[in-house]
Amino acid sequence: MSERIPVLRIGDVLLVSVQFDLEDQTVLNLQEDLAEQIVATSASGVVIDISALEIVDSFVGRMLSTVAAVSRVLDARTVVVGMRPAVAITLVELGLSLGGVSTALDLEKGLAKLGRPVGSAPR
């Protein structure tokens, strides 16, 4: 039995905080849980906090893209927050640019990003 990552609800936003390095099965569980929770709570946004994540592989990188795509289908926006420099460099070197995933430096900025209407990035 592998660990499950809790999906927390704040208002109409779901918060996923990854606190340890991910195994493949955990990643798959998370994808399922998240999709179910979005439907169950009709959330409009998902924040994935990966500030504690130190090691990524291409599987985790693809997971982030997949989760974002799944949420989009369910009409929720995904923001990945708190990516560490080393993780960002690794993903770039792996050739994963996470197209279509919004990112923010920290949780606060991520929530602020979700609070704004779609397509109204500050000009």
**Binding other proteins by CB under 8 A: which of 92, 100, 115, 116?**
92
**Alpha carbon of 90 to those of 6, 35, 107: distances in Å?**
26, 27, 21
Comparing C-alpha atoms, which of 107, 109, 30 is closest to residue 70? 30
**Binding other proteins by CB under 8 A: which of 1, 117, 119, 122?**
122
Q: Which two tokens stand for residue 12?
A: 């109409």
Residue 91 as a binder of other proteins (CB under 8 A): the answer is yes
Residue 81 as a binder of other proteins (CB under 8 A): the answer is yes
Question: Residue 14: which residues within 8 A CB-CB, separation 6 or more?
Answer: 7, 8, 34, 37, 38, 41, 43, 45, 46, 47, 76
Taking CB under 8 A as the binding criterion, the range among 17-25, 26-34, 40-48, 105-113 that sits at the site for other proteins is 105-113
**Binding other proteins by CB under 8 A: which of 88, 100, 115, 116?**
88
Residue 14 DSSP one-character state: E
**Alpha carbon of 70 to those of 20, 77, 100: distances in Å?**
23, 10, 12
Applying CB under 8 A, the site for other proteins has a residue count of 23
**Binding other proteins by CB under 8 A: which of 3, 32, 106, 115?**
106
Taking CB under 8 A as the binding criterion, the range among 6-14, 23-31, 36-44, 99-107 that sits at the site for other proteins is 99-107
For other proteins, the binding residues (CB under 8 A) are 80-81, 83-85, 87-89, 91-93, 97-98, 102-106, 109-110, 121-123
